Amino acid sequence: MSVHAWLFSRFSLRSRFIALIATLVFATTLLLGWVASRESAQQMEANIGNAASEAAYQMVDKLDRNMDARIKEVKLLLGMQALTTDTNPSALREQLERLQDNYNVVSWIGFTDPEGTVQAATGGILEGVSIAQRPVFIEGRESLWIGDVHEAVLLAQLLPNPSGEELQFVDIATPVYDRNEELQGVLAVHLSWEWAEYIQQSIFSPAKKRQNNEILLLSAGGTVLLGPKALMGKSLDSLRHIPGPTNISPQWAIETWPNGEQFVTGYARSSGFEDFPGLGWIAITRNPIASAFAPVEQLQTAIMGIGTLLALLFAMIGWMIASRMVTPLTRLASAADQIQDGEQADCIPLENGSPEMKRLSTSMRNMVSRLLDQRQTINRLEDLANTDPLTGLPNRAFLNQYLQLAIPEAERNQQSMVVMYIDLDGFKRVNDELGHHAGDLLLIEITQRLKNALRSGDVVARLGGDEFVMVLKTKQEYLEMLTHEVSRRLLTAIAQPILLPENKRAHVGCSLGAAWWPHHGLHIETVLQLADSALYAAKSKGKHQLVIHKP
């Protein structure tokens, strides 16, 4: 025995279980590491959501700054001398067109008189036309005014439109006064909404776009101003997490959209910038959960893979420790199986690996020895209870137990049974003339002849006195043939003379009564009664013959 094995054998089961507990501690540590990794995954989800809200904030911030720049440009236009002098319209138009050429987001610039008639405009568009009823004049006559996104009305058919899509504008209008603070007219600027699309395209990198990231812009009322064509002009007020008018902080949430799909959604509401007071625009970024949280799933997959490998490692360690602990128990179990197969109690090994195992093996040896003694005693008692003491044949009690088991087996094997009652003819005369001892010897010889007439698997039992019963199993189509064949052998064998002590001879015959299960009865008790009745019929017809029950 090596030193390590000797040391290990000195440890008790308690010490070994402590080692197992230490292994569980390692496993618990692994679990805690996994929980920490899960927290990291949650933090990653939060970072992804914050990035979505940050993109939405960048969108509204760029829009606000761009609008602020346009407002400052309009204020610079107020310094044009041509607006407050009597310069003819053509000269004013020329200056407005030069300004338009410098700003590609400007679709139209016009100057009206105090009554709302356009005096000069880029491209000469709407000159001489009154816009007195339009909000751009009504609001712009009072003070600097910024109009929200709207479709073109008067300019729809007049401005070039290569794309063919509906033109949309953001309006800026301001009153123009002379040196005496008298109203000279209104300066109106229509900004093409295409500049907002340019900003939208610049928010996401090509990689983000490939990941199905989208950005939308909503009006203060929740109507889509910019976004997928399928949503343009539709209201998204059904979204649960849209920030309120006073909530300008970027935020994100997992939002269920009208089509039932879930997106990681970022929100940011416009708050204006410097000269631009803001129009309450809401920028929304969205990305399907499957693509947005793909990195999180990859992290979790990696964690599960590493965790599984570590768990397997600890399981192997635990198995090795448990195997060393269980080996003595396995040997004891194998020894117990051998005892069950009939070996002696001393095959229980004496385990010296630990004090507890030594005590257990010793106790098992003592217990098994007592159990074997008890089992032998019980077997002897059972044999006495189920065996006829004179002939050694099974008795009535055994027959009843046998039939209870034989019926289900015959049903499973689709077999039938022959129940044959046997009663000796002339046995009473032998008893009276030769004595009971001679009668007993005759019964012993008859028993041997009955056994010789049996096939393997058949049963013969002594019911009492000179009455016996046979149970034969066979297929239904062989019932009659088997009954006659066995009865012929019995009638012949039993009729042979029997040699008794003192050179005495005895002659007896037999009467046979048979019934078939389940042909004559579904219950075996019924078949037994019918076979008994057939036996009495055989005796009444002259004995030494077979009578088969006929329904």
Q: What is the pLDDT of residues 148-166, one digit of tens each?
A: 776 666 665 556 555 555 6
User: pLDDT at position 180, please?
Assistant: 79
Q: Give yes or no for residue 294 having a pLDDT over 70.
A: no
> Tens digits of per-residue pLDDT, 253-281?
878 877 778 888 888 888 777 877 777 77
Residues of the chain with pLDDT > 70, as a percent, come to 68
Which of 78-92, 371-385, 488-502 is least confident?
A: 371-385
User: pLDDT at position 361, please?
Assistant: 67
In this structure, the answer to whether residues 446 and 535 fall within a common structural domain is yes
User: pLDDT at position 382, please?
Assistant: 57
User: pLDDT at position 280, please?
Assistant: 76
Specify which of 188-197, 205-214, 423-432 reaches the highest per-range mean pLDDT: 423-432
> Tens digits of per-residue pLDDT, 15-46?
555 566 556 656 666 666 566 667 766 777 77
User: pLDDT at position 440, please?
Assistant: 85
Both tokens of residue 404? 């209870």
Asked if residues 399 and 469 have their Cβ atoms less than 8 Å apart, the reply is yes
Which of 71-75, 394-398, 446-450, 503-507 is least confident?
A: 71-75
> Tens digits of per-residue pLDDT, 331-346?
666 776 666 666 554 5
Q: What is the mean pLDDT of the chain?
A: 76
In this structure, the answer to whether residues 438 and 392 fall within a common structural domain is yes
- CA–CA–CA angle 12, 18, 21 (5° rounding): 150
User: pLDDT at position 159, please?
Assistant: 63
Domain, as residue range, for 362: 336-385
In this structure, the answer to whether residues 375 and 512 fall within a common structural domain is no
Both tokens of residue 343? 């070996």
In this structure, the answer to whether residues 341 and 440 fall within a common structural domain is no
> Tens digits of per-residue pLDDT, 86-114?
557 777 787 777 777 776 677 778 888 88
As a whole number of angstroms, the distance between CA 303 and CA 363 comes to 49
Q: Which residues contact 442 (CB under 8 A, 6 or more apart)?
A: 427, 430, 498, 500, 506, 508
51/459: higher pLDDT: 459
Sign of the four-CA dihedral 119, 120, 121, 125: positive
Q: Is 308 within the bounds of a domain? A: no
pLDDT band for 290, please (50, 70, 90 cuts): confident
One-character DSSP codes across 303-321: HHHHHHHHHHHHHHHHHHH
71/493: higher pLDDT: 493
As a whole number of angstroms, the distance between CA 392 and CA 384 comes to 10
In this structure, the answer to whether residues 393 and 512 fall within a common structural domain is yes
Q: Give yes or no for residue 514 having a pLDDT over 90.
A: yes
User: pLDDT at position 419, please?
Assistant: 92
In this structure, the answer to whether residues 370 and 436 fall within a common structural domain is no
Q: Give yes or no for residue 460 having a pLDDT over 60.
A: yes
In this structure, the answer to whether residues 408 and 453 fall within a common structural domain is yes
Count Cβ atoms within 10 A of the Cβ of residue 411 and give its class: 0-12 exposed, 13-18 middle, 19 or more buried.
exposed
405/292: higher pLDDT: 405
In this structure, the answer to whether residues 431 and 359 fall within a common structural domain is no
Residues of the chain with pLDDT > 90, as a percent, come to 8
- Report the pLDDT averaged over residues 383-411: 82
As a whole number of angstroms, the distance between CA 39 and CA 29 comes to 15
Q: Is 527 within the bounds of a domain? A: yes
Give which of 85, 324, 289 is closest to 185, Cα–Cα: 85
User: pLDDT at position 468, please?
Assistant: 92
In this structure, the answer to whether residues 281 and 347 fall within a common structural domain is no
As a whole number of angstroms, the distance between CA 368 and CA 366 comes to 6
pTM above 0.75, yes or no: no
For the chain, how many structural domains are there in total? Answer: 3
Q: Is 122 within the bounds of a domain? A: no
Q: Is 452 within the bounds of a domain? A: yes
In this structure, the answer to whether residues 354 and 261 fall within a common structural domain is no
- Report the pLDDT averaged over residues 315-320: 62
Q: Is 288 within the bounds of a domain? A: yes
Strand pairing partners for 528? none
Which of 8-17, 37-46, 428-437, 484-493 is least confident?
A: 8-17
- Report the pLDDT averaged over residues 192-217: 67
Q: Is 145 within the bounds of a domain? A: no
429: part of which helix (H) or strand (E)? Answer: helix 427-434
155/145: higher pLDDT: 145
In this structure, the answer to whether residues 398 and 512 fall within a common structural domain is yes
User: pLDDT at position 252, please?
Assistant: 80
> Tens digits of per-residue pLDDT, 518-540?
999 889 899 999 999 999 999 99
Q: Is 32 within the bounds of a domain? A: no
pLDDT band for 431, please (50, 70, 90 cuts): confident
In this structure, the answer to whether residues 232 and 362 fall within a common structural domain is no
Tell me which long-range contacts 121-125 makes (C-beta under 8 A, separation of at least 24): 121/93, 121/96, 122/93, 122/96, 122/97, 123/97, 124/93, 125/155, 125/158, 125/159
User: pLDDT at position 512, please?
Assistant: 92
Q: Is 62 within the bounds of a domain? A: no
